[in-house]
Amino acid sequence: MMQTVLSLETSCDETAVAVVRRDGEKFQVLANFIASQAEEHAQWGGVVPEIASRRHLESMPLLLEKAIEKSGINFSDLDAVASTVTPGLTGALLVGSITARTLACLHNVPFLAIHHLEGHLSSVLLSDNCPKQPYLVLLVSGGHTELVKVDKGMSFQRLGRSHDDAAGEAFDKVARLLGLSYPGGPAIQAIGKLGNPLRFTFPRGRVSKPSGGYYPYDFSFSGLKTSVMRKVDSINKSSKKLPVNDLAASFELAVADVLVERSLKCAIDHDLSSLVIVGGVAANSRLRELMQKKASENLVNICFAPKKFCTDNAAMIGAAALSRLKNGNIFSSIDLGVSGRFPLDQAKLLYGQDIPF
């Protein structure tokens, strides 16, 4: 059966609209447009929520027009209009969610609310070599670092998480320390390519159990950030020139190392032969190279989400919506609002009549 959705994503600083189709097991992105506000937020060193909401409002009409035109669909062809409703900046989420609900009402098609993390998890469905479920997903974005087991029928089980900063957040904070622009990930990657990753040894943070030992699949990045800060301070005090390239490369390697080590251990311990990597940080080439190498040594099959669907986009929201539709003829209440936070393992509540928010 073929199904088509129009999907909207406005949870942070990218306004995104896509049209995605599923024909059997095959997903096809008919249109995918993104208006990034990153440059405007860069001058503030991070996302300013009020500015984000305003820009979403301004960009949305043109993106919708372009997506409908490019895809060649009519509203009558749609099986649902989907939008991210949680987690994220509430003012920003409202723009996408109200637009989607309005379009759904106007054109008499179902509205489907999507959890942003389910969107990231579903981005791998847009890859040509997506493994069969069950598999383990390493989700590494600006707000989350999690290891999630994905079973058939969109059931998720979190097996690991960061206890402090997310990996992407660490990239953004360290970039700031090194005087680089926001978002930090691409900036660190660009100059890290020119540096020596073995020049500085930064800590590979672990999370202690109160009963002794460590949580084997959990992450901590705040100590790493502090360690880079101390190094930068001491070099600055000595009036030597800051070796920004080497610092960036060494930091990047420390992050990649822990992500690779813990996710492979988690996959192997749980007898999962496939590991999927999604989210903004999954675009990182040092992580990709190291993961590829260590996974093949350990006979774990890996699959990265396509690079253009790693950072926030609406095609992944469409893929999540199509998977939900495949698993049942469901829809969300038009009265469902948005929420800054909501656990992923409760995502099925977004499709009930008792609305959670």
Which of ligand KG4, Zn ion, none does residue 125 bind to, with CB < 5 to 8 Å depending on kind?
A: none
Q: Does 141 bind ligand KG4 (CB under 6 A)?
A: yes
List the structure tokens of 82: 């989907």
- Count CB atoms within 10 A of the CB of residue 123: 29
How many C-beta atoms lie closer than 10 Å to residue 132's C-beta?
9
The smaller minimum CB distance to ligand KG4, of residues 23 and 345, is found at 345
Amino acid at 62: L
Interacting residues with Zn ion between 296 and 325 (CB under 5 A): 312
CA distance 309 to 315: 7
Task: Determine if 118 is a binding residue for Zn ion (CB under 5 A).
Answer: no
Q: Which CB, 191 or 272, lies closer to ligand KG4?
A: 191
Which of these, 249, 250, 263, 265, lies nearest to 304 by C-alpha position? Answer: 263
Interaction between residue 53 and ligand KG4 (CB under 6 A):
no
Residue 280 makes contact with ligand KG4 by CB under 6 A: yes
Query: Of Zn ion, ligand KG4, none, which one does residue 218 interact with (CB within 5 to 8 Å by kind)?
Result: none
Question: Please, which residues have CB within 8 angstroms of residue 166's CB and are 6 or more apart in sequence?
Answer: 140, 141, 142, 143, 144, 145, 221
Q: What length does the chain have?
A: 357
| Contact window for ligand KG4 (CB under 6 A) among 47-55, 150-158, 181-189, 238-246 | 181-189
* Dihedral angle sign, alpha carbons of residues 152, 160, 188, 44: positive
Per CB under 6 A, 183 contacts ligand KG4 = yes
281 is a site residue for ligand KG4 (CB under 6 A)? yes
Say whether residue 192 binds ligand KG4 (CB under 6 A): no
- Cβ closest to Zn ion, residue 92 vs residue 291: 92
Residues at the site binding Zn ion, with contacts judged by CB under 5 A = 141, 312
